[in-house]
Structure 1
Amino acid sequence: MAYQVDYQTVSPQGLEKAADPAALAGLRANEARYFANKYKHVFTTVPAAKSRASIALVAQILKEKDFVLPYPVLETSTFTVDGIAMIYVFYQNGLVINVMYTLVAGGKRAVGIKLADGMAVPQELAAKFKFARQKSKLAGTIRGSYFVIKGEYQF
């Protein structure tokens, strides 16, 4: 069942199995607020079982950096806004991967990596990335990094 994320009333619905459901729900709400304010887009998530194709595509893109993430996926959000295909994957341990893929040739294409408040940096990411910190009223301290996508993918 799809869930429309309400960033004004943060709820851990769909994230109950997370290591820290409240922290991950805050991060999800933070993303929902961004898309609501910038694009007037309603951020909606679906359970992992209903989004296998999106999860597989993100896994394929992560292989550019030799990442295979062993963490269980709780839910995803897949949408296109303003010519940009977006996929968000919310993992049980508090990790969030988002893919931003501009659909026109030569556009911006990147993978964002965000960690929920209080989450330790996973060992496979710590060796390759430096994480910047950002404060959020909804999510506490968010740590994030990114890399540019080199390959071409079908969205």
Structure 2
Amino acid sequence: MSYQVDFKNVDTVGLTSSPVATAFAGLRANEARYFWNKYKVVFTTEPAAERPDLVARVATILKERDLVLPYRPLEVADLTVDGVRWTYVFYENGLAINILYTLAAGGKRAVGFKLTDGIEVPAELADKFKFAHQKSALAGVIRGSFFVIKGTYDD
């Protein structure tokens, strides 16, 4: 069952098993606010179990950096806006990964990592990435990093 993320009344729907559910819901709402403010698009998530193809897509792209994450995916989102496909996976530990993938050749393509306020940098990422801090009224302090995608993943 899909969930239209409300960035005005933050709700933990779909994230309740996370040890940082409230802050994580704020991070997800922060993403929803971004899409609404920039594109006027409603950010909708689905249970990860209903979309294993999206979890697999993210896992395949992460292999570019030899990353295999042992975390349980809770929710996913997939939307295409202005020629860019955005795929999200929200993991139970409070990690959110998004893939920005421009559909046209030569466009921007990157993997973004966002850490929920209150979690440590996962060991799999700690030695490979530096994280910048961003303050959010909805999510507290969000730490983020990214890498540029080198391969082609059209599906």
TM-score (norm 1): 0.99
Kindly provide the CA deviation profile for residues 113-145 of structure 1, in whole angstroms up to 9, marking residues without a partner as x.
000001100111010000000000000000000
CA deviation profile, 1:26-66 (whole Å, cap 9, x unmatched):
00000000000000010000001111001101000000000
- Alignment of 1:138 with 2:130, yes or no, is no
Secondary structure, in 3 states, of the residue corresponding to 1:93? coil
1:38 equivalent in structure 2: 38
**Structure 1 position 19, deviation (Å):** 1.5
Residue of structure 2 equivalent to 1:9: 9
The residue number in structure 1 matching 2:25 is: 25
Matched residue, 1:64: 64
Matched residue, 2:94: 94
What do residues 55-83 of structure 1 show as CA deviations (whole Å, max 9, x unaligned)? 10100000000000000000000010010
Give the CA RMSD over aligned residues.
0.5
**1:154 CA drift (Å):** 1.6
Letter aligned with residue 91 of structure 2: Y
Which string of whole-angstrom CA distances, capped at 9 and with x for unpartnered residues, describes residues 57-110 of structure 1?
Answer: 100000000000000000000010010000010000000000000000000000
Distance (Å, rounded) in 2 between the aligned partners of 1:90 and 1:13: 12
CA distance in 2, matches of 1:47, 1:123: 25
Q: Which consecutive unaligned segments of at least 5 residues does structure 2 have?
A: none
Equivalent residue, structure 2, for 1:55: 55
TM-score, normalising length: structure 2: 0.99
Report runs of 4+ in structure 1 exceeding 3 Å deviation: none
Work out whether 1:149 is the aligned partner of 2:141.
no
Q: Distance in 1 between matches of 2:32 and 2:17?
A: 20
Structure 1 residues not aligned, in runs of 5+: none
Counterpart residue number, 2:115: 115
Cα deviation, residue 149, structure 1: 0.2
